[in-house]
Chains A and B, each alone.
Chain A
Amino acid sequence: MGRLSGFTLVAVGAALLVLSGCAATPAKDAAATSGAGVSLSRAKDSLHPVGLFGLDQARIARTGQVVEIDYPGDCESLLNVFEASQWSVKAIMTPNAALNEYLLTLRMGAVRDMVWLYPSTVACHASVTEPTEQKFSFAGPTAMTGTSRMLPFQCQKQGDAATDPVTFSGMYDGPGDFHFMLSATFAPKKGMSPIDPDSAQVSVVHGATSFLEIMGAMLNAQQAGTEDDSAMPNGAGYYPSDSFEGTANITSTKPLAGTLTLTGLTDNEGGGRQAVTVGFRCAQ
């Protein structure tokens, strides 16, 4: 496993494109689920997130792993409220010329939630996505089995029809310094479906912080013009080879959840064959 070179990893590059203002935000169409969050959702019988204070005037709604907050004030004020609460705030992206939004992580202990903030005229709208725990298994050049905290970064339908495929991208953190991001496109129907070979990609990085925070550091380095190989975390990128096979085993459609199995992946140099099996769950 070598050091990642710049933005050659497609998944990371796609994520950075999002951060640059050209792509996804959390999906808006939602269905209520029971939720299995390990952080904010622990507030039973309440929509109010645990450890977030000062939201008396805010409208709060929960759908699955996402808590939506409409805060009657600007986003700087809402950031201050977060920081005055029990969580630590780390900015991944702040408003720029291309996109007037914030991307943050809220940290409490080992838990990191992903937060998008969208300012409007006199309000700030926050979308807080909680991680879920997912099992995974890597076999091949990268060998690792365990349980990660997964943040769904994208669950995007590719058309209006119910049967149109969905592109999923998830960031997985842990155990330890092991992090990865996986992207795949497949049909959102229960049972087994093939994964589009053109869509599959897996990026693995090692670092002390979460994948999202590592990605933010890379973005900042890029924007500051300080990007170089030494700043890149150790890791690897895997893409479909000629022998690629991918299967999505969908167990739930609301929220979309199941297991993704990818075999016949290879790295940039075409060496080795990597297999990955991982659980996933969209936030809504």
Chain B
Amino acid sequence: MKRLSRTLGAVVAAGTAITLVLSGCVPTGSQAAAAPQTGGPPPTLAEIHSVSSHLPTGEAEAAQSLVNTVFGADRRASLAATAELLVRSGIGLTNDKQQLALASDEVIADALVPLAYIPVLNDSLIRGDFFDGAQVATLFQDLGVTTTPASSDVLLATMRGWGKDQDAEPQVRMAGNLVRALAAHDGTLPLPGATPRFDAVQLYLLFAQLVGTVVDYHPKAQPKAAGPDFAPVSYVTTELSGEEAHCEAELKRLEKLGERLKDKAEKKAYTMVVTKGVGWAIRGGLTKGLNEEFLAKYSQLVGKSFKAVSSAVSAAQTVATTLLMMTGLAIDVTDDHGHKMHFRHKHGDTAANIHVAATVSFDSSLVDQDEYACYKLIGLDIPKNGTVSGKNEKGQWSGWQVHWAFGENIGRNNYYGSTAHGAVIRPQQWDAFQRNHQNQHLDENGKAVLETMTRTEKEPNKGTEHKVNAEVVATVDYVTKLKPSLSTVSNVIQVIDMTARAITFPSARHTIEVTYHGQDTYVMTGHGQMNMALLVGMTFDSDYYSCNGLNGPWQGRAAYSADTMLMGDVAGMLGYEGAKKGNFANDTTQFSLDPKVTEPQKVDLGEAHFGVQVTLKNAPKRGEHIDGYVGEGTWLLSGSGVALDSLFNRATSFGVFSSGMTYDVRGVQEDPRCPGAKFEDDTWDD
């Protein structure tokens, strides 16, 4: 038994099934229609047109509208929007007759998508399934698209810049807008240093636009476009009886049909990929490194690796459709506490634990479970439609498991990570969790359950309730035997095998709101500098904190210092009386703020009416604590706020300029000056 990595070597049942579907060794759409579908029937052309006709004209606005609709409450519109976003990105949609049903004026000929598959793709989006950057990078490497795994930085930069070149094709610009809008909806913007995540659509568009072959599409100009001469690539067929011959025949048919489609294109060199290694690269957005990697290697791939099938067409289509079909494997994560848990009030109290359950299923709505003709050629186990059993017919483990991760457990909407608390959630059985490399076998019902625990409040229910979003990530994994090299079977099967080995599985994340009681602390700290005509310099400092909410009492220190040169002149210019030479500091005055007041609140510290001024802009409601910005402060001179005094505004011609003259008032989880942290430090139950 050899354990394959999740991304590199897994000869995966589902993946194989998918590949076999591509190769035609599976039943037809009519049979698929009989299979249970959670997503409902595919969108009709009229529904897609309705969504399209109501989109804003601006590309960014249209992308946003499509994403909003995909995740909206109207199921039919959601499906139609999923179809429309593909079309606008250059993906052609095919109907049950295996004809191109809908496409933009330029279409990627080897990345066509059956309309029947839209519900599955939509379900994957709604579920939030994703592939992380490492999976994507390894997938592309395994497919031979890159020689080395693309780094996270490269993938993120590609997402950031995708289609922002004004000269890029509309389909590329739209795809870039959609990829980023989807990322924004998912809360996973491609920020530098982030962990890249790709949902099924993002991954599919990335692959298709990188290596796909673009052709013109003018259905009205070619009345026969929907006829036999213009038949698009087929994914499913009724003409199968299994075995290698059928696989090979179908693959060759794919090539032939794809070439026909390309031959119909006007002056578009479908040989771009073959001869130049230049597909519809994500112009203007693809980082140079990745661009070179993709194109150079893909050219090589076309020339060598896929020589067996003599054309890049079926190779690209095979891979593209495999990526698409991977979404048929789903992982659903739930828990038994409604996504919520609270810190324990006593050690060892397992009643507060939460059980996170991952259920893996395979939606083979386009696949007949009884006719995986080519499957046996690979010798792999394809899951039945429905939940994926962790047991085989002998009652032994089937190789399916879930990999758990807490690596990104701190949500973006909190400041918990700013203090040294450690994670808020972890497995109850930590040792076993580590010993099993964070993997857990599926049971016979396709389920893996992880019991998780949180920390313990030292003084239960004392203080203000805080919230932290913890995240648990579950990834489908499969461990199986490797068959001997399949190269002796046939060249066609090599292609299938190569694609299957590259398959990676989706992940799902589960967010848990963890609450606990702690301090209600706010702080404001600032350091400002002001320079008048390069002759006089002043510095200002504030360092105040409140342990009892925004209203206070606030305590701490404020100070200013001024150089001794020309201070009298400065005083005159400022129009105030007596900001004296030298230094001034006050650390005895305590004050309060009214959270309901949005006008500036002034605190006069006495010396020449020096003081601080606070303007609350985002005050918490009663009983709430806000972690982060709630307002801003500045200093008072002669009773006037310096940051608001027009005399000190940089817009004046006095040559006055400054920095740091405003500072934030913000809520924090704790401050060492406030008495007693109210929750336990890193005391875990093992």
Q: Are B659 and A100 in contact (CB under 8 A)?
A: yes
Q: Are B664 and A24 in contact (CB under 8 A)?
A: no
Q: Are A85 and B184 in contact (CB under 8 A)?
A: yes
Residue of B56, B618, B655, B666 near A122 (CB, 8 A) is B666
Give the contacts of A1-59 with B (CB-CB under 8 A).
21-25, 27-28, 42, 50-51, 53-54, 56-57, 59
Q: Are A72 and B191 in contact (CB under 8 A)?
A: no
Q: B73 to chain A: which residues have CB within 8 Å? A: none
Closest A residue to B654 using CB positions? A22
- Binary contact track A71-113/B, C-beta < 8 Å → 1, others 0: 0100001001101111010000000001110000000111000
Closest A residue to B180 using CB positions? A86
Q: A83 to chain B: which residues have CB within 8 Å? A: 160
Q: Are B60 and A51 in contact (CB under 8 A)?
A: yes
B189 at the interface (CB under 8 A from A): yes
Complex CA–CA separation, A82 to B58 (angstroms): 18
Q: A100 to chain B: which residues have CB within 8 Å? A: 659-660
Known contacts A120-B662, A120-B663; decide if A156 and B189 are in contact (CB<8 Å). Answer: no
Q: Are B617 and A50 in contact (CB under 8 A)?
A: no
Give the contacts of B342-360 with A (CB-CB under 8 A).
none
Q: Are B166 and A110 in contact (CB under 8 A)?
A: yes
Give the contacts of B645-664 with A (CB-CB under 8 A).
646, 649-651, 653, 655, 657, 659-660, 662-664
B413 at the interface (CB under 8 A from A): yes
Shortest Cβ gap from B399 to chain A (Å): 38
Q: A59 to chain B: which residues have CB within 8 Å? A: 617-618, 629
Q: Are A121 and B413 in contact (CB under 8 A)?
A: no
Shortest Cβ gap from A17 to chain B (Å): 10
Q: Are B177 and A86 in contact (CB under 8 A)?
A: yes
Q: A72 to chain B: which residues have CB within 8 Å? A: 628-629, 664, 666
- Binary contact track B506-528/A, C-beta < 8 Å → 1, others 0: 00000000000000000001110
Residue of B164, B192, B632 near A88 (CB, 8 A) is B164
Q: SS class of chain B's interface: helix, strand, loop or mixed?
A: mixed
Q: Are B651 and A156 in contact (CB under 8 A)?
A: yes
Q: A156 to chain B: which residues have CB within 8 Å? A: 651
Q: Are A98 and B525 in contact (CB under 8 A)?
A: no
Complex CA–CA separation, A88 to B166 (angstroms): 10
A70 at the interface (CB under 8 A from B): yes
Give the contacts of A122-143 with B (CB-CB under 8 A).
122-123, 125
Q: Are A81 and B189 in contact (CB under 8 A)?
A: yes
B451 at the interface (CB under 8 A from A): no
Complex CA–CA separation, A120 to B629 (angstroms): 11
Residue of A21, A23, A119, A123 near B653 (CB, 8 A) is A23
Q: Are A24 and B650 in contact (CB under 8 A)?
A: yes
Q: Are B629 and A70 in contact (CB under 8 A)?
A: yes
Q: Are A23 and B650 in contact (CB under 8 A)?
A: yes
Closest B residue to A159 using CB positions? B646
Known contacts A50-B58, A53-B184, A56-B413; decide if A121 and B525 are in contact (CB<8 Å). Answer: yes
Q: Are B166 and A109 in contact (CB under 8 A)?
A: yes
B59 at the interface (CB under 8 A from A): yes
Number of interface residues of B (CB under 8 A): 44
- Binary contact track A172-204/B, C-beta < 8 Å → 1, others 0: 000000000000000000000000000000000
Complex CA–CA separation, A66 to B227 (angstroms): 55
Q: B159 to chain A: which residues have CB within 8 Å? A: 84
Complex CA–CA separation, A123 to B629 (angstroms): 8
Shortest Cβ gap from B483 to chain A (Å): 43
Give the contacts of B626-642 with A (CB-CB under 8 A).
628-629, 632
B190 at the interface (CB under 8 A from A): yes
Of listed A27, A121, A156, residue having the most chain B CB within 10 A: A121
Complex CA–CA separation, A154 to B649 (angstroms): 13
Closest B residue to A77 using CB positions? B191
Q: Are A120 and B632 in contact (CB under 8 A)?
A: yes
Shortest Cβ gap from A210 to chain B (Å): 13
Known contacts A53-B180, A56-B413; decide if A70 and B189 are in contact (CB<8 Å). Answer: no
A242 at the interface (CB under 8 A from B): no
Q: Are B191 and A23 in contact (CB under 8 A)?
A: no
A269 at the interface (CB under 8 A from B): no
Q: Are A42 and B58 in contact (CB under 8 A)?
A: yes
Q: Are B160 and A84 in contact (CB under 8 A)?
A: yes
Complex CA–CA separation, A117 to B58 (angstroms): 26
Closest A residue to B653 using CB positions? A23
Q: A23 to chain B: which residues have CB within 8 Å? A: 650-651, 653
B78 at the interface (CB under 8 A from A): no
Closest A residue to B666 using CB positions? A122
Give the contacts of B64-102 with A (CB-CB under 8 A).
64
Residue of A57, A119, A123 near B413 (CB, 8 A) is A57
Q: A56 to chain B: which residues have CB within 8 Å? A: 413
Shortest Cβ gap from B475 to chain A (Å): 24
B61 at the interface (CB under 8 A from A): yes
Residue of A21, A25, A54 near B191 (CB, 8 A) is A54
Known contacts A23-B650, A50-B64, A84-B160; decide if A121 and B660 are in contact (CB<8 Å). Answer: yes
Q: A85 to chain B: which residues have CB within 8 Å? A: 180, 184, 189
Q: SS class of chain A's interface: helix, strand, loop or mixed?
A: loop
Q: B649 to chain A: which residues have CB within 8 Å? A: 25, 28
Residue of A50, A70, A99, A160 near B646 (CB, 8 A) is A160
Q: Are B191 and A80 in contact (CB under 8 A)?
A: yes
Q: B184 to chain A: which residues have CB within 8 Å? A: 53-54, 85
Closest A residue to B659 using CB positions? A100
Q: B181 to chain A: which residues have CB within 8 Å? A: 53, 86
Shortest Cβ gap from A53 to chain B (Å): 4
Residue of A22, A25, A51, A125 near B64 (CB, 8 A) is A51
Q: Are A21 and B618 in contact (CB under 8 A)?
A: no
Q: A28 to chain B: which residues have CB within 8 Å? A: 644, 649
Q: Are B189 and A25 in contact (CB under 8 A)?
A: no
Q: Are B189 and A54 in contact (CB under 8 A)?
A: yes
Q: A81 to chain B: which residues have CB within 8 Å? A: 189, 191
Complex CA–CA separation, A121 to B644 (angstroms): 18
Q: Are B189 and A84 in contact (CB under 8 A)?
A: yes
Residue of B60, B160, B161, B653 near A50 (CB, 8 A) is B60
Known contacts A85-B184, A86-B180; decide if A120 and B660 are in contact (CB<8 Å). Answer: yes
Q: A80 to chain B: which residues have CB within 8 Å? A: 191-192
Q: Are A25 and B663 in contact (CB under 8 A)?
A: no
Residue of A24, A42, A77, A118 near B651 (CB, 8 A) is A24
Closest A residue to B163 using CB positions? A86
Q: Are B61 and A50 in contact (CB under 8 A)?
A: yes
Q: Are A99 and B657 in contact (CB under 8 A)?
A: yes
Q: Are B61 and A25 in contact (CB under 8 A)?
A: no
Q: Are A86 and B657 in contact (CB under 8 A)?
A: no
Known contacts A23-B651, A27-B651, A50-B61; decide if A121 and B166 are in contact (CB<8 Å). Answer: no
Residue of A77, A98, A109, A154 near B59 (CB, 8 A) is A109
Shortest Cβ gap from B373 to chain A (Å): 46
Q: Are A122 and B413 in contact (CB under 8 A)?
A: no
Q: Are A53 and B189 in contact (CB under 8 A)?
A: yes
Complex CA–CA separation, A99 to B525 (angstroms): 21
Shortest Cβ gap from A106 to chain B (Å): 11
Shortest Cβ gap from A19 to chain B (Å): 12
Residue of B60, B63, B191 near A84 (CB, 8 A) is B191
Shortest Cβ gap from B629 to chain A (Å): 4
- With A121-B525, A121-B526 given, name 14 new contacts (CB 8 A): A28-B644, A50-B58, A50-B60, A50-B61, A51-B61, A70-B632, A84-B183, A84-B191, A86-B180, A88-B161, A98-B657, A120-B660, A120-B662, A122-B629
> Please, could you name 26 A-B residue pairs with CB atoms under 8 Å apart, sorted by A?
A21-B650, A22-B657, A24-B651, A28-B644, A50-B61, A51-B177, A54-B189, A57-B413, A57-B629, A70-B617, A70-B632, A72-B628, A72-B666, A80-B191, A81-B191, A83-B160, A84-B191, A86-B60, A86-B177, A86-B181, A119-B660, A121-B527, A121-B663, A121-B664, A154-B651, A160-B646
The 4 closest A-B pairs by CB, nearest first: A53-B184, A51-B60, A100-B659, A84-B189
Hey, which bits of chain B sit against chain A, CB under 8 A? 56, 58-61, 63-64, 159-161, 164, 166, 177, 180-181, 183-184, 189-192, 413, 525-527, 617-618, 628-629, 632, 644, 646, 649-651, 653, 655, 657, 659-660, 662-664, 666
